[in-house]
Amino acid sequence: GQQLNQSPQSMFIQEGEDVSMNCTSSSIFNTWLWYKQDPGEGPVLLIALYKAGELTSNGRLTAQFGITRKDSFLNISASIPSDVGIYFCAGRGNTGNQFYFGTGTSLTVIP
């Protein structure tokens, strides 16, 4: 199946710091999604991106659809303890409605 490379694999940051993570694919996507998963729960949709170059915010979160359509970025500003969790990217190409998921970025925020 489609491979999505997500980096970094894990992050340990101090509360208040900004966070950046990214996702790259080997082929062009026309939709990028970012999810957050808390322990014992399912992934929850954070941001959806539908257009190359699009920049979308959700509170302290900002995500961008890369111009090449092969990558996407998620930034979290002024991190807080409740930002802890695993962040997944997901992308979809032109055919079918199957999304491919990245391997996740585990975020730990140190108070």
Which residues lie near another protein (CB under 8 A)?
A: 1, 30-31, 33, 35, 40-45, 48, 50, 88, 90, 92, 96-104
Give the nearest distance from C-beta 47 to another protein in angstroms.
9
Phi and psi based region of residue 66 (left: phi greater than 0; alpha: psi -120 to 50; beta: remaining): beta
Length of the chain: 111
Give the nearest distance from C-beta 103 to another protein in angstroms.
5
Give the nearest distance from C-beta 25 to another protein in angstroms.
15
Which residue's CB is nearer to another protein, number 3 or number 68? 3
Which residue's CB is nearer to another protein, number 11 or number 79? 11
Nearest-CA neighbor of 22 among 102, 110, 78?
102
| Share of the chain residues as helix, strand and coil, in percent rounded to the nearest 5 | 5, 55, 45
Which residue's CB is nearer to another protein, number 44 or number 78? 44
Give the nearest distance from C-beta 75 to another protein in angstroms.
19
